[in-house]
Structure 1
Amino acid sequence: MNWVYGIVAVIIVQRLIEVGVAKRNERWMKGNGGVEVGKSHYPWMVAMHVAFFISLFVEVTLTGVVFTVYSFIPLLFVLMAQIVRIWVLLSLGRYWNTKIIVLPEAPVVEKGPYRFVRHPNYMVVITEIAFIPLLFQAYWTALVFSVLNAWMLVVRIRTEEEALYGETKDYSERFKGKKRFWFV
């Protein structure tokens, strides 16, 4: 069971490092005229992610975990998501953030996974919220938080795209033919 907590701890530490990167990028963007939108839903999103890890810990502790051959399937999805997450972070550079901050008139980033889809980072989050719990047979956490995350992403993507269409010079032109995710 200690290995379960170890894996989850590594993921949480990764998230905390990302928050530090996001804070640094936020200061840079706002210092260069960046505009934050979606402030009202941001605390709800943070609360959902914190509750996700609490739920995962509780469910795993109450139900116990057995690592089986079937655990490799969600593990592969989680590992692939981490590769894409790093690709997203490297592609966006200083523009990457956990908040929606738009730098008016900045060129739209179209490298890395953004060559193919509009929201690769949200694809990563969808994958993680679904498959991290499945790695530990935490089926209720996977189900409940996948639904909550879908609701959150509807709100967040709508807000983000409105800001990008309104504040950047070429978002609508560059991304009109690209899907939000690989399937939508």
Structure 2
Amino acid sequence: MDRPSILYVVFVAAAVLVALGERVYARRNETRLLRQGAAEVAPWVFRLMAPVYMLLFPAAIAEHLALGRRAPPVLAASMLVLFSAAKGLKLWAVLHLDGLWTMRVILPRRLRVVTGGPYRYVRHPNYVAVIGEILTLPLAGGAWITAAAGGVLFGALLRARVRTEETALLARPEYVSRMAGKNRFIPGGGR
């Protein structure tokens, strides 16, 4: 393996470790919320999204190594910066949601609507971050097929998840009064 490939594999391995840490944190929150009487909405969505997300990592490495894909250095560096920005956005969202952040769609009986941090601008900053991760991680290694296929597949699942989640959230007056006027993913007024 050449040096750029070694660096890319190390980068992806580090991203896997971060993702596993995120899952542990989310699982702890999910368990606590469910014990407190929260309800899970559409569990099938997470059951499909989680494997697609986790398969992205080995698929990107496989495409990079098996097909000899290499991103031009400027593109690779740009994707690393954008991946870091996506992780930063996710961390910002997680810190503001605190113990409410989960990977499954879990709604507490008493909904505490978070409007600070990135939620001041959009309803779903975490999903913006995840799409950023899914596109930039493969592209950093030149794995454009993985980025395209992962983006399309995860995007379709995310669309179903957002619709399901928002149907449940928009049925709650406390959510509507504070979030309905914000866009889902892009800052600005409206929907």
TM-score range, shorter chain: over 0.9
Amino acid in the other structure paired with 2:110: E
Give the match's secondary structure for 1:33: coil
Match of 1:56 in 2: 60
The Cα RMSD (Å) is 1.5
Which string of whole-angstrom CA distances, capped at 9 and with x for unpartnered residues, describes residues 80-136 of structure 1? 111111101100000000000000222211111001000000000111111111111
Corresponding residue to 2:106 among 98, 101, 114: 101
Quote the residue 1:19 is aligned against: 23
Which residue of the partner structure matches residue 144 of structure 1?
Answer: 149
Q: Deviations over 1:130-167 (max 9, x none)?
A: 1111111101001111111110111000111112123x
Contact 1:78 1:131 in 2 (8 A): yes
In the other structure, the counterpart of 1:37 is 41
Structure 1 stretch displaced more, 93-102 or 128-137: 128-137
What's the counterpart of residue 133 of structure 1?
138
Q: Which moved more, 1:47-56 or 1:139-148?
A: 47-56
TM-score, scaled to structure 2: 0.90
* Equivalence for 1:120: 125
1:154 counterpart residue number: 159
- What amino acid maps onto 2:96 in structure 1? S
TM-score relative to the length of structure 1: 0.94
Q: Alpha-carbon deviation of 1:73?
A: 1.5
Deviation at 1:50, TM superposition (A): 2.2
Match of 2:90 in 1: 85
- Tell me the distance in 1 between the aligned counterparts of 2:178 and 2:131: 24
Cα drift, residue 173 of structure 1: 1.4
Distance in 1 (CA, whole Å) between partners of 2:139 and 2:6 is: 17
Moved more, 5-14 or 51-60: 51-60
CA distance in 2, matches of 1:105, 1:163: 13
How many residue pairs align between the two structures? 183
Paired residues of 2:170 and 2:180 also in contact (CA < 8 A) = no
Consecutive unaligned residues in structure 1, runs of 5 or more: none
Could you tell me the percent identity over the aligned residues?
A: 33
Give the SS at the match of 2:184. Answer: coil
**Letter of the structure 2 residue corresponding to residue 3 of structure 1:** L
